[in-house]
């Protein structure tokens, strides 16, 4: 068996072009090649990235730029968010070693896999973490947490390559693979639109945290594409049913008022 | 049991102060703190290191500077040389993960342990690798070998910390610990001095490679301090014996000529 294609690296809102180059360099060191940028602060391409890439030009030349994390992960099935501090999202938290193993198995099953990294200062937003299938936490000393972006990529890329070189037989998933990021996002947005129409998000400023909690809860179930479609059927049935109930109520009121 | 003290990091002939700072930063990230410099190109301290250390000031402030690798490892028992290309030294080659385990066990036995890294361009000289107890090779993709110095330190430091956090019971060495670097160097120099006097290094320009081969051969035996002393006794006996033989030969010639 040839080695499975390595995970896509996604950098959210990176600031310094030098860091993008340094990330490309360590990706090449460990055999990763596909880099995606979400809303890089200074646009792309940036001349200064080439100096720090130290010859890993093919990684920089293959970069694709996206406006949002949702778009950047739309074709991927398993994406882990790398963040030092597990947030309040109740998602599985893995070490880089454990994460590499899951990504390896999923990739060997033909799924699209990726690793998401936050910007140099702000890190990742919970909204974007909620779109991922889990969290990777590098075992940083709590006394000195500031880990350089390229170092964080390097640790994960190193674990991937170490795993591939050891070449264990992949553990294939039992049954159907999980749906793509795009399919899940479509399902989430469908649900949220109907819930919003039903007045579920109350008070309105709670929309964000409530929708995140829902996404994380449902995300843990790892729906297949078929199950996501089924769930959308559920949403439609419930909301249409509510519509019918409302219509009937309205009709009966009209009947009453016409009495 | 409290965690064993982490390995000392030794940078040989580092060039950029920024890289020294970046190394200090990743050491702090993974709980390492003792950094030694061998002949840094621009001297020490260098103001620019503090900018890239990102707050790991205690590592920079604790730096000690040495003139040679031999002096920098004199008090250490187990030092691994980190190099991408295993040289012709017939030393054990380990992954960062395997090396961390050996260093962990040796440290838990009370030995001094360290990791030696070469300068940014030239890497390590074979002479210095020959003073180490083994080689660590990071599994770099052969298509893109240029690994940044701080990244190389990070991978090894990460493996140390991962190992410590998993906290396996240490495997203690059976029997006596290996001698210190200083003791071994003294033994090597003693041997080479006597061999040189005996005309062993022939032609003279072969001295360097021949002495390296001897050091690596003997180094693999991991002599205890007692064994190193015994071996020095052997050297003395052999060379004194030779001296006595020569004196007797000279005396008998004198006898013959006086006949």
Domain presence at residue A175? no
- Geometric angle at alpha carbon A12, from A11 and A13, rounded to 5°: 115
Taking the C-alpha atoms of residue A180 and residue B149, their distance in angstroms, rounded to an integer, is 38
**CB of A86 closer than 8 Å to CB of A135:** yes
Instruction: Give the contacts of A250 (CB within 8 A, at least 6 positions apart).
Output: none
Does one domain contain both A151 and A63?
yes
Asked if residue B94 and residue B56 are part of one domain, the reply reads yes
Per-residue pLDDT of A88-136, as tens digits, reads 667 888 999 999 999 999 998 889 999 999 998 888 998 999 899 999 9
User: CB pairs under 8 A, 24+ apart, for A164-167?
Assistant: A164/A3, A164/A4, A164/A6, A164/A31, A164/A104, A165/B139, A167/A3
- The pLDDT tens digits for A52-96 are 999 999 999 999 999 999 999 999 999 999 987 665 667 888 999
- In A, minimum Cα distance to B163 occurs at A139
Do B134 and B207 lie in a common domain? no
Mutation pick from A141, A146, A153, A167 vs chain B, by most beta carbons of B within 10 Å, is A141
pLDDT of amino acid B259: 47
Domain count, chain B: 2
Question: What is the Cβ-side half-sphere exposure of residue B89, based on CA atoms within 13 angstroms?
Answer: 29
3-state secondary structure of B37: strand
Say how far apart CA B95 and CA B152 lie, in whole Å: 12
A contact set with B (CB within 8 A): 22, 25-26, 28-31, 54-56, 95, 97, 138-141, 143-148, 150-151, 154-155, 158, 161-162, 165
- Choose one of A135, A166, A197: the last residue of a domain: A166
Cβ within 8 Å, pair B55-A158: no
Residue A171 counted as domain residue: no
Q: Of B217, B229, B236, nearest to B176 (Cα)?
A: B229
Prediction ipTM score = 0.75
CB contact under 8 A, A144 and B28: yes
- Exposure string of A26-58, with b = 16+ CB inside 10 Å and e = fewer, is bbbbbbbbbbbbbbbeeebbbeebbebbbebee
SS3 B186: helix
Burial state string for A116-130 with b = 16 or more CB within 10 A and e = fewer than 16: bbbbbeebbbbebbb
The pLDDT confidence band at residue B161, using thresholds 50, 70 and 90, is: very high
**B87 and B134: one domain?**
yes
CATH number of the structural domain spanning residue A116: 3.40.1280.10
**Is residue A252 in a domain?**
yes
Q: What is the mean pLDDT of residues B168-189?
A: 83
pLDDT at A259: 46
- Interchain CB distance below 8 Å, B146 and A54: yes
Q: Mark whether B52 and B153 lie in a shared domain.
A: yes
Domain with B147, as residue range(s), is 8-166
- Verify that A27 and A139 share a domain, yes or no: yes
Residues B33, B106: one domain?
A: yes
Q: Tell me, yes or no, whether B120 and B22 share the same domain.
A: yes
Closest-CA distance of chain A to residue B200, Å = 44
In a domain, A176, yes or no: no
Are residues A206 and A130 both part of a single domain?
no
pLDDT tens sequence across A142-165? 888 888 999 999 999 999 999 998
- Picking from A133, A166, A199, the residue at the C-terminal end of a domain is A166
Asked if A151's CB is within 8 angstroms of B29's CB, the reply is yes
**To the nearest 10°, the Cα dihedral for B23, B24, B29, B31?**
120
Q: Are residues B37 and B92 in the same domain?
A: yes
């Amino acid at each position: 068996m040839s080695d499975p294609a390595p995970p896509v690296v996604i950098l959210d809102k990176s600031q310094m072009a030098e860091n993008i180059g340094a990330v490309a360099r360590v990706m090449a060191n460990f055999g990763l090649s596909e880099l995606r940028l979400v809303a890089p602060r200074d646009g792309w391409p940036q001349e200064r990235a080439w100096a720090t890439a130290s010859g890993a030009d093919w990684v920089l030349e293959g970069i694709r730029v996206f406006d949002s994390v949702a778009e950047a992960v739309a074709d991927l099935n398993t994406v882990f968010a790398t963040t030092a501090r597990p947030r309040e999202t109740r998602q599985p938290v893995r070490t880089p070693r454990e994460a590499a193993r899951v990504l390896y198995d999923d990739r060997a099953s033909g799924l699209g896999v990726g690793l998401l990294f936050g910007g140099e200062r702000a890190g990742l937003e919970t909204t974007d973490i909620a779109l991922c299938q889990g969290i990777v936490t590098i075992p940083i000393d709590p006394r000195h947490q500031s880990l350089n972006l390229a170092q964080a990529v390097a640790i994960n890329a190193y674990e991937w390559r170490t795993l591939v070189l050891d070449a264990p037989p992949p553990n294939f998933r039992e049954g159907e693979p999980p749906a793509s990021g795009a399919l899940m996002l479509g399902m989430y947005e469908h649900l949220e639109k109907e819930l919003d129409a039903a007045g579920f998000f109350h008070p309105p400023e709670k929309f964000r945290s409530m929708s995140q909690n829902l996404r994380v809860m449902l995300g843990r179930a790892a729906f297949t594409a078929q199950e996501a479609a089924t769930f959308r059927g559920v949403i439609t049935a419930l909301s249409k049913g509510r519509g019918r109930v409302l219509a009937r109520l309205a009709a009966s009121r009209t009947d009453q008022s016409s009495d």
